[in-house]
């Protein structure tokens, strides 16, 4: 299993550009989430999904869109990049409710985004 | 409202000694879970330990143990026999509906030789 993969690892954007951060998992997990981590801070939830076709907003959703058309993929779209979106982005997945260790979160390696 | 509070921005510990990292939480849910993650300078998030709110015993994973005091809403991480490789940022987090995590601000731990 590859686990949770994220592409790209690094990205530099100019203000106003758009892009999509990719996240994929091969563990058949129902739950997937996107977090951002700003310098010296903990992770904050952007959007999450409890299954294909179901998404919802987290703590800091403004400026980001998500969709979940398959169980495996959960892309994060930046519509019009702003310097305030300079951050490290983590995708995570978990099995969901019920069963042993269903709570366990698997994190991707992160994408470091800089907006100039 | 702050859900996870980590009051120690930075900690030092001597190699081979034990260290406690503090975490208090705030929730009205009767069922919840508490996590500790380690983030080394390389940036990945490494799962250390989990405690469910209904678990009767404190969780342990190797050198890591969780001092869970439900009435005080605290979930402190104890690392025994510290090693140089334990130097990292440590995050406490609480699990909410949708398997979403709410993180604290973190504690930087430095292990001295």
Q: Higher model confidence: residue B105 or residue B99?
A: B105
Q: Furthest-apart CA pair in chain B: how many Å?
A: 43
Per-residue pLDDT at A20 exceeds 70: yes
The residue-averaged pLDDT of A27-42 equals 92
Per-residue pLDDT at A43 exceeds 90: yes
Using the structure block, give the residue that is written with the tokens 């208090």: B24
The pLDDT value recorded for residue A116 is 97
Q: Cβ–Cβ of A31/B95 closer than 8 Å?
A: no
Within its chain, how far is the Cα of B104 from the centroid? 9
- Name the residue among A68, A70, A74, A71 with its Cα closest to residue A90: A74
Using the structure block, give the residue that is written with the tokens 């959960």: A74
Q: Over chain A, what is the mean pLDDT?
A: 93
Per-residue pLDDT at B2 exceeds 60: no
Residues 6+ apart with CB under 8 A from A6: A21, A22, A23, A89, A90, A91, A108, A109, A110, A111
| Percentage above 90 pLDDT, chain A | 84
Rounded distance between C-alpha atoms, residue A30 and residue B13, angstroms: 40
CA distances from B49 to A105, A106, B61, B73 (A): 11, 13, 6, 17
Per-residue pLDDT at B30 exceeds 90: no
A11 near A116, Cβ under 8 Å? no
- Name the residue among A94, A80, A74, A82 with its Cα closest to residue A34: A74
Per-residue pLDDT tens over the stretch B32-90: 899 999 999 999 999 999 999 888 899 999 999 999 999 999 999 999 999 999 999 99
Rounded distance between C-alpha atoms, residue B77 and residue B58, angstroms: 11
Lookup: tokens for B79:
């690392």
Q: Which residue of B3, B21, B45 to mutate against A (max A Cβ within 10 Å)?
A: B45
Binned at pLDDT 50, 70 and 90, residue B96 comes out as confident
The pLDDT value recorded for residue A108 is 96
Per-residue pLDDT at A113 exceeds 90: yes
- Name the residue among A25, A45, A37 with its Cα closest to residue A96: A25
Q: Which residue of A10, A43, A87 to mutate against B (max B Cβ within 10 Å)?
A: A43
The pLDDT value recorded for residue A79 is 92
The pLDDT value recorded for residue A78 is 97
- Measured between beta carbons, which residues in chain A are less than 8 angstroms from residue B101? 33, 35, 43, 45, 92, 105
């Amino acid at each position: 299993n590859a686990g949770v993969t994220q592409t790209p690892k690094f990205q530099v954007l100019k203000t106003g550009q758009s892009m999509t951060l990719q996240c994929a998992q091969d563990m058949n997990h129902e739950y997937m989430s996107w977090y951002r981590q700003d310098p010296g801070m903990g992770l904050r939830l952007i959007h999450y999904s409890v299954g294909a076709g179901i998404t919802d907003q987290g703590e800091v959703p403004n400026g980001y869109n998500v969709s979940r058309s398959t169980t495996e993929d959960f892309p994060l779209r930046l519509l019009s990049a702003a310097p305030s979106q300079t951050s490290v982005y983590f995708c995570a997945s978990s099995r969901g409710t019920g069963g042993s260790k269903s709570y366990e979160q698997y994190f991707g390696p992160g994408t470091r985004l800089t907006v100039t | 409202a702050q859900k996870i509070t980590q009051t120690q921005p930075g900690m030092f510990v001597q190699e081979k000694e034990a260290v406690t990292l503090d975490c208090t939480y705030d929730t009205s849910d009767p069922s919840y879970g508490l996590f500790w993650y380690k983030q080394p300078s390389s940036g990945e998030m490494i799962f250390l330990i989990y405690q469910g709110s209904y678990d009767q015993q404190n969780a342990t994973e190797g050198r890591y143990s969780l001092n869970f005091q439900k009435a005080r809403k605290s979930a402190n991480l104890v690392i025994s026999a510290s090693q140089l490789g334990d130097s990292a940022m440590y995050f406490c987090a609480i699990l909410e509906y949708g398997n979403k995590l709410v993180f604290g601000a973190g504690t930087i731990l430095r292990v001295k030789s």
